[in-house]
Structure 1
Amino acid sequence: MKKIRNTNEILSHGDVASKRIVVEIADRTLERLDSYQRIRSIMRMEGGVLHIGTRSWDLAKKRNVYLIGAGKACNHMAMAVDHVLGDRLTRGIAIVKISEETDQFNKTEVFVGGHPLPNEEGHRASKKIIDLVDQAGPDDLFIAVISGGSSALMSCPIDGITLQDEIDTTDVLLKSGAGIYEINAVRRHISALNGGMLAKRIQAVGAELIGFGISDAVGSPATGDIAVPYAAYKSTPIGPDMTTLDDARATIINRNVADRLPKSVVDYLMSAGPEAETPKAFPDNTYFLLNTLPDSCIYAKEVCEEMGIPAMIVSSFLEGESRDAGTFFASIAREIQTYGNPIKPPCVLLSSGEVTTLIGDNSVIKGHGGPGQEMTVSFAITAAKTKGACLLSIDSEGTDGTAKVAGGITDSTSFDVAAQNGISLYQTLREHSCFEALDAIGSTVFTGNTGTNLCDLNILYVPEPNKG
Structure 2
Amino acid sequence: MNKIKNYDSLISHGDIESRKIVLDITNRTLQRLDAYQRIKSIMHVDGDILHIGTKTWDLSKKRHVYLLGAGKACNHMAMAVDEILGDRLTKGIAIVKIAEETDHFRNTDVYVGGHPLPNQAGYEACLKILDLVDHAGPDDLFIVVISGGSSALMSCPIEGITLDDEIKTTDVMLKSGAGIYEINAIRRHISAMNGGMLAKRIESVGAELIGFGISDAVGTPATKDIGVPYEKYASTPMGPDKTTLEDARRVIRDYDVADRLPKNVVDYLMNVGPEGETPKAFPNNTYFLLNTLPDSCIYAKEIAEEMGINAVILSSFLEGESRDAGTFFASIARESQAYGNPFKPPYVILSSGETTTQILDNSVIEGHGGPGQELTLSFALAAKKTKGACMLSIDSEGTDGTAPVAGGICDSTSFDAAAGKGIDIHHALRTHSCYEALSEIGDAVFTGNTGTNLCDFNVLYIPAVPEEEESK
Structure 1: distance between partners of 2:341 and 2:42: 42
Structure 2: distance between partners of 1:200 and 1:358: 34
Specify the alignment match of 1:464 in structure 2.
Answer: 464
Give the 5 Å matches for 1:168-187: 168-187=168-187
Gaps in structure 2 of 5+ consecutive residues: none
Structure 1: distance between partners of 2:10 and 2:136: 50
The question of 1:26 aligning with 2:26 is answered yes
Specify the alignment match of 1:64 in structure 2.
Answer: 64
Give the 5 Å matches for 1:332-347: 332-347=332-347
Please say if residues 213 and 290 of structure 1, whose CA atoms lie closer than 8 Å, have aligned partners that are also in contact.
yes
Structure 1: distance between partners of 2:86 and 2:368: 41
AA matched with 1:143:
I
User: Helix, strand or coil: the match of 1:356?
Assistant: coil
Specify the alignment match of 2:7 in structure 1.
Answer: 7
Please say if residues 387 and 466 of structure 1, whose CA atoms lie closer than 8 Å, have aligned partners that are also in contact.
no
Structure 2: distance between partners of 1:299 and 1:338: 29
Structure 2: distance between partners of 1:13 and 1:422: 18
Structure 2: distance between partners of 1:282 and 1:339: 53
CA deviations 1:232-286 (Å, max 9, x no partner) are 0000001010000000001111000000000000000000000110000000000
Give the 5 Å matches for 1:2-401: 2-401=2-401
User: Helix, strand or coil: the match of 1:398?
Assistant: coil
Superposition misfits of 4+ residues, deviation over 3 angstroms = none
Structure 2: distance between partners of 1:402 and 1:466: 39
Matched residues, number:
468
AA matched with 1:367:
G
User: Helix, strand or coil: the match of 1:320?
Assistant: coil
TM-score (norm 1): 0.99
Structure 2: distance between partners of 1:398 and 1:149: 12
User: Helix, strand or coil: the match of 1:159?
Assistant: coil
User: Helix, strand or coil: the match of 1:184?
Assistant: helix
AA matched with 2:196:
G
1:466 Cα offset (Å) = 2.4
1:290 Cα offset (Å) = 0.2
1:343 Cα offset (Å) = 1.3
User: Helix, strand or coil: the match of 2:204?
Assistant: helix
AA matched with 1:427:
H
Structure 1: distance between partners of 2:441 and 2:417: 7
Structure 2: distance between partners of 1:336 and 1:450: 32
Structure 1: distance between partners of 2:304 and 2:60: 47
CA deviations 1:328-347 (Å, max 9, x no partner) are 00000011111111111110
CA deviations 1:141-173 (Å, max 9, x no partner) are 000000000000000000000000000000000
AA matched with 1:221:
P
Please say if residues 376 and 393 of structure 1, whose CA atoms lie closer than 8 Å, have aligned partners that are also in contact.
yes
AA matched with 1:93:
I
User: Helix, strand or coil: the match of 2:313?
Assistant: strand
Structure 2: distance between partners of 1:84 and 1:222: 26
Structure 2: distance between partners of 1:194 and 1:441: 40
Q: CA RMSD in A?
A: 0.8
AA matched with 2:272:
A
Structure 2: distance between partners of 1:3 and 1:142: 31
AA matched with 2:48:
G
Structure 2: distance between partners of 1:2 and 1:231: 34
Specify the alignment match of 1:409 in structure 2.
Answer: 409
User: Helix, strand or coil: the match of 2:355?
Assistant: strand
AA matched with 2:128:
K
User: Helix, strand or coil: the match of 2:409?
Assistant: strand
Please say if residues 367 and 432 of structure 1, whose CA atoms lie closer than 8 Å, have aligned partners that are also in contact.
yes
User: Helix, strand or coil: the match of 1:422?
Assistant: coil
TM-score (norm 2): 0.99
Give the 5 Å matches for 1:428-447: 428-447=428-447
CA deviations 1:380-424 (Å, max 9, x no partner) are 000001000000000000000000100000000000000000001
Structure 2: distance between partners of 1:306 and 1:105: 36
Structure 1: distance between partners of 2:343 and 2:98: 39
Please say if residues 144 and 211 of structure 1, whose CA atoms lie closer than 8 Å, have aligned partners that are also in contact.
yes
CA deviations 1:34-86 (Å, max 9, x no partner) are 00000000000001110000000010000000000000000000000000000
Percent identity over the alignment is 75
CA deviations 1:20-43 (Å, max 9, x no partner) are 100000000000000000000000
User: Helix, strand or coil: the match of 1:72?
Assistant: coil
User: Helix, strand or coil: the match of 2:457?
Assistant: strand
1:126 Cα offset (Å) = 0.4
Structure 1: distance between partners of 2:383 and 2:17: 16
Structure 2: distance between partners of 1:439 and 1:378: 15
AA matched with 1:149:
G
Structure 2: distance between partners of 1:466 and 1:267: 63
CA deviations 1:356-375 (Å, max 9, x no partner) are 00111100000000000000
Structure 1: distance between partners of 2:116 and 2:337: 38
Structure 1: distance between partners of 2:447 and 2:119: 23
Structure 2: distance between partners of 1:168 and 1:428: 25
